[in-house]
Amino acid sequence: MSEGFITNAGAHLAVIDMQRVFAEPQSPWLAPRFAEVVDPVRRLVAAFGERVTFTRFIAPQNPAGAWRRYYEQWPFALQPPDARIYEMVDDFAPARTLDATTFGKWGPELARDIGDSELVLAGVSTDCCVVSTALAAADAGVGVHVVADACAGATDETHRQALDIMWLYSPLIEVVTLADILDR
């Protein structure tokens, strides 16, 4: 899908929000295809070795601004960072995560993690935290590669729509496949 990907050696993988709150069937935030992307994400993590950052979405202690309205709609999510819903799924239990109370995970910490590398994104949810991270990183001048078959959305339709939006940002953002990454 992408001709411009440099090589795995020149990139850093960010695994976005592979958490129980998006994986468990009873969760209001279930990404229905979450289980289908676990193996592709696991394969990416193995390929990138030490060049991986795991992220977690967590609720703020005191929501401010528009986030107050958001948590009025989703009060179940107002739990502390160590709550079970915010744990990484068993397949991914890194020693350290980059935690954020925002959808997008791009910021000084992730920028420091990737250095001068390009950014490869996988995880959930394509139509929320992945797209928010991709757009902010691209705006900061980072080359971004979103691994479509290692991401899951709230629905198949919104997953596809988010990928279509990110396609519009080419060449700043490239939508690629797992094979595109692993074959290089």
Residue 105 located in a structural domain: yes
Structurally, how many domains does the chain consist of?
1
Amino acid at 68: R
* Spatial CA neighbour of 18 closest among 58, 54, 49: 54
**Please, are residues 15 and 52 in contact by the beta-carbon 8 Å criterion?**
yes
- CATH, residue 108: 3.40.50.850
pTM: 0.94
Q: Percent of the chain at pLDDT above 70? A: 95
Render the burial of 103-112: b for 16+ CB within 10 Å, e for the rest. bbbbeeebee
Give the domain extent around 146.
8-182
pLDDT at 9: 61
pLDDT at 93: 85
Listed in order, strand segments (DSSP E) in 69-176 are 98-100, 118-124, 144-152, 173-176
Residue 106 located in a structural domain: yes
Residue 98 has pLDDT above 50, yes or no: yes
Residue 3 located in a structural domain: no
Tell me the pLDDT tens digit for each residue of 1-12.
Answer: 444 444 456 899
Residue 2 located in a structural domain: no
